[in-house]
Structure 1
Amino acid sequence: MNKRHFKKSIIPLLGLCATLSFSACTEWTDVDNKVVEYPAITEQNPELYAQYLTKLKEYKESEHKAMYVWFDNSIKDATHRSHHINNVPDSVDVVVLNSPDSLISRELEEMQELRDDKGTKIVYSISLESIKADHNALIEETEEAKDLAIEEATKKAEADLNAAKEAGNENAKLEDFLNLEEIEKDFIIPEFEDFLTEALQDQIKIANKYNYDGIIVGYVGKGTLHMFPDEKKKYTETENLFLGLINSWIERNPEKMVIFEGKPQNLINKDILQISKHIIISTHTASNSANITFEVGTAIAEGIPVDRFIVTAQVPSLDPNKEEAGKWANGTLAIPSTATWATGKFTYTIAGMGILDVNTDYFTQPSIYTLTREAINTLNPSLK
């Protein structure tokens, strides 16, 4: 199907089904909190809806700017539509689950529905920086626990020492009652390389366990230009270990999608970028368009494909204490502003954008997922 014919065929269906879907939720609540039942869209016109789903999946396979959304699925006892994965806008291409493990049957069913009916991909992130943060947290927790154990053991040893001396043992010493080496054996912290290997193996298993469509490989790293030789050697070994385990999984699962997120310019071995569907540049903290341009510009280096960049923005927070979240310095909302920026002309290709905290956008007025839908329409105006 050529692109012009495809647009003409899907636009009426998208428009009509969107109209139906807003009036076809199974439950709506009026001002008196009375639940009113409406027939689902599949009951109103199942034939039309089937055509719509077919065109929707064709659209996602066609050339367009992709939409990624990060979904908080930490709430398992869903009490609101914003908790349901399958309630994100139909035109979303990829859903990233923030809590990828310990999925319940409801989540698995909703994931399968999105995948089968709407052609939506479900992925999760494996981040080197997150694993480092977990290791640092383990070190801190272990050190605190060890200090507490030593403190308690020392108090007991001192009490035992005093008791021994009162019993007439004047030659007794504290070390007779306190064995620090024995205590420290209970608080051994694994080396980062061992911790990384175990954490990676556990996280990679999740992809096949829950039949994810792929993974996001998160890697920020740092510049190596001014590193001392020993520092660069250690840095290279860590990268090789991380990417080696990832690449081993990729080779065994060629059907799975791979996406890179972070700072590609800091990779020593950039081969993984060639097989990555997209390269996500985190711009959700940008305060203006110049910040986004800078972040993408600095990500361009030798060996980095420039035809697949994704930029990100954040939904404004519902917390009144976080009024700056999701906004640029001039007060404009980051999502529509980023989407507009992404439609510009560059020497590189902006292949789409990603939205963080998408669940919060469910509550954006005047409709559900207002900012996400607006961004999709801006990126792909043929859908309007």
Structure 2
Amino acid sequence: MKTIINKLFIYSLLLLTFFLSAACSDWNEPKPVDLNINSAKKQNPELWARYMQVLHTYKQSKHYLAYAHFNNSPEKPVNEGSYLRSLPDSLDIVTLGNSSKISDYDREDIQLLQEKSIRVLYFVDYAAHAATFTDVMALGTWLDKAITVATELELDGFAFTGIPFYSGTDTELAAHKEKSRLIVSKLSAAVGQNKLLILEGNPAFVADTDLDKLNYIVLNTADLTNVTDLKLQVAGILANGLLPKDKLLLAARTGGQIINEASMKQNAVILMTDRVVSLGPLGGLSIYDIGKDYYSPIMNYELTRSAIQLMNPSK
């Protein structure tokens, strides 16, 4: 009898273990869940429309510009800060650092930014690729491809880079000038009316006769480490009288530091924000590496919003 009872007890334990295992397996197995998350626009279309109108009115008003260079489509997005949709609404211009790699997320976010009256630009990084263009035909083909993509995405213009050429043979100098003129000629023709053409870098790259085709110039101040160098650079550019102050934007890199007049290290974005007014007043501020963090207690998002508010306190 004991043997039968023992066997029944063992069988019961086995059955119980089986059912518990099956149940636990069901509990622990991840299952897709349909979540209906409504955006702010869908939750209250009327309030959203009013907010869009406020943004549009602000962007159309006279104010110091806020420009961001954003590295879109990262190979390994780490958080929400990797996406265009997370940028501050009060930005005026965003240049896509990886314009040749546009993801499906980027396509959606570009439309969202434009709805918020943020101008989104295609980035033509000629400085990084100049050595690969041995002749103007190759450069022209490259530019045509960029223009095609920007047109398909309905972007709001172009930002481009270039390195001035100060020494070399007459032939080399002529070739350099020809490439510079080609870049400005093709891109300015492509932007047409109501779009932007911006140089990121030294204005000496562009011929004096082409400077009026540029809407703004983002000066290459992002990696300066001393405020004295900043003052000398801005003073030198303004001294030639070819560029109006309101065409110039100072550049700062998030996480950077600059030694100020008191020989103290200061946050680069904060220092540059102040110098936009004191060294000009200039046209505004450009921020690089804006998408590098999101959950940090001192977020680039908040830093950018503070910079915009400091430049435009009454807006």
TM-score if structure 1 supplies the norm length?
Answer: 0.64
Q: Deviations over 1:194-230 (max 9, x none)?
A: 543333333333321322211013223134xxx46xx
Question: 2:246: which partner in 1?
Answer: 307
- Of 329, 334, 346, the residue aligned with 2:268 is 334
Question: 1:32: which partner in 2?
Answer: none
Q: For 1:70-109, list aligned pairs within 5 A.
A: 70-75=69-74, 78=77, 80-109=79-108
Cα distance in 1 between the residues matched to 2:72 and 2:45: 29
Cα distance in 2 between the residues matched to 1:102 and 1:252: 20
Q: SS in structure 2 opposite 1:360?
A: coil
Unaligned regions of 5+ residues in structure 1, if any? 1-36, 136-189, 317-325
Q: Is the 8 A contact 1:265 1:298 kept in 2?
A: no
Pair 1:360 & 2:292 matched:
yes
TM-score if structure 2 supplies the norm length?
Answer: 0.77
Question: 1:128: which partner in 2?
Answer: 126
Tell me how far 1:105 sits from its aligned partner. Answer: 2.3
Q: Is the 8 A contact 2:158 2:191 kept in 1?
A: no
Tell me how far 1:62 sits from its aligned partner. Answer: 0.8
* Percent pairwise identity: 23
Q: For 1:1-384, list aligned pairs within 5 A.
A: 41-42=40-41, 46-75=45-74, 78=77, 80-116=79-115, 118-133=116-131, 135=132, 191-223=134-166, 227=167, 231-255=169-193, 256-267=195-206, 269-300=207-238, 301-316=240-255, 326-329=256-259, 330-344=264-278, 346=279, 348-366=280-298, 369-383=301-315
Cα distance in 2 between the residues matched to 1:199 and 1:273: 22
Q: Which amino acid aligns with 2:88?
A: P
Q: Is the 8 A contact 1:128 1:242 kept in 2?
A: no
Pairs aligned (count):
275
RMSD over aligned Cα atoms: 2.7
Q: Is the 8 A contact 2:69 2:288 kept in 1?
A: yes
Q: Is the 8 A contact 2:73 2:102 kept in 1?
A: no
Q: Is the 8 A contact 1:213 1:257 kept in 2?
A: yes
Question: 2:9: which partner in 1?
Answer: none
Q: SS in structure 2 opposite 1:328?
A: strand
Q: Is the 8 A contact 1:259 1:276 kept in 2?
A: yes
Pair 1:261–1:58, CA change in 2 (3 A): same
Unaligned regions of 5+ residues in structure 2, if any? 1-35
Q: Is the 8 A contact 1:126 1:217 kept in 2?
A: yes
Cα distance in 2 between the residues matched to 1:276 and 1:340: 24
